[in-house]
A = this chain, B = another copy of it.
């Protein structure tokens, strides 16, 4: 019998409760012993809950109960989740989290604290919701040097972009739809400006690097700049547009970027639509493997948390190794030095001048497509700063530039 506590009874926390209650038989068989929820911490009133006796509002009730060996933190946000997680780890209790912000920001310190106290800090649900991605990266691909991990890590923006492509609705209208369906928050900044994706790709990047990669240092663009002209041109060139979090090994350094990118229709990522997520992992022996599924949602995310609980229960008392430690130097390649092909959308007064400039400055195969007042082309692969320099003199106003994956 493993006794656990859940701190934070919101969407994911109540999902964890539901998964444990619904699949109790299954879980007991997998664990070889039952998982028992001893406490649920939430400051709100749950006196009408069928198991209202489980609810407590003092975190010390849990911290001071030696019977509780595993604590699920599903509060989200930095505080008080950070303080509560440290308290539990310092008491030798293993903590399971779905809190990407906390893992991306203080993961290195929380892992170290777990090591010091003979417990562990698990975070499978912090990236990709229900899609198993952390554990495959950690164990299944242990035999590979991971050369790249990239993909669609945010369902809200993928829904918006899918609607823009499939229904030809503007960014604003698609965002409104997403809010009405509950896919986007009232303040959609974290999703549409790429910060959510940034935290997730930094968690994956830190795992590969073995040292923290700071999300604040990563070049991060959101999708607000994408227009229906862009979706039209991208389709014409044979691409879709996806908000991509990408980490690629470049010698001893890493190219980490969050940006809306043109994704070839030949890529499996291109067909991942609506709120679905997909993560591509490239190993030096494996080649490419893709993990696809619902990247969010109450029960998928909760099932990833519970998988961690089961793993923690089975591994109780075993040595734990931190997946990454603090950063000791900057391993990021400067954005301007990353080599990429760029999609460029411009508004040109003269078709002839534009075509002449493009053919003089970019390779012969660079094809310019015109549509109304707008034109677009895709450059050869080159350091981004060189592309920017060439675009500085273009006889047109640049409306958008997007990296090609």
Contacts and interface: CB of A to CB of B under 8 A. Distances in A.
Interface of A: 19, 22-23, 26-27, 29-32, 124, 130-132, 135-136, 139-145, 210, 268, 271-272, 283-294, 297, 299-300, 302-307, 309-311, 318, 321
Nearest to A25: B145
A74 to B, nearest CB: 14
Contacts of A19: 143, 285
A106 B109 CA distance: 47
A131 B287 CA distance: 10
B299 A285 contact: yes
Given A135-B140, A304-B140, A287 B292 contact: no
A309 B285 CA distance: 15
A305 B271 CA distance: 30
Given A32-B321, A268-B271, A268-B292, A140 B307 contact: yes
A135 B292 CA distance: 16
Contacts of A31: 142
B300 A143 contact: no
A142 B283 contact: no
Contacts of A287: 130, 293-294, 297, 299-300
Contacts of A27: 142-143
How often does this chain occur in the complex, in copies? 2
23 contacts: A23-B143, A26-B144, A30-B142, A31-B142, A130-B285, A130-B286, A130-B289, A132-B136, A132-B140, A132-B289, A135-B135, A143-B303, A143-B304, A143-B310, A268-B268, A268-B272, A268-B292, A285-B300, A287-B294, A290-B290, A290-B291, A290-B293, A292-B292
Contact of A289 (B271, B293, B305): B293
Contact of A145 (B23, B142, B143, B289): B23
A249 to B, nearest CB: 12
B292 A286 contact: no
B307 A141 contact: yes
B142 A22 contact: no
Contacts of A130: 283, 285-287, 289
Given A143-B310, A286-B304, 12 more contacts: A19-B285, A22-B284, A23-B285, A26-B144, A130-B283, A132-B140, A135-B135, A136-B136, A141-B303, A283-B303, A286-B293, A289-B293
A23 B146 CA distance: 11
A307 B144 CA distance: 8
A131 B268 CA distance: 15
Please name the 7 residue pairs, one residue from A and one from B, whose CB atoms are nearest each other, closest first: A132-B140, A143-B306, A289-B293, A285-B303, A290-B292, A30-B142, A130-B286
B271 A144 contact: no
A100 B268 CA distance: 27
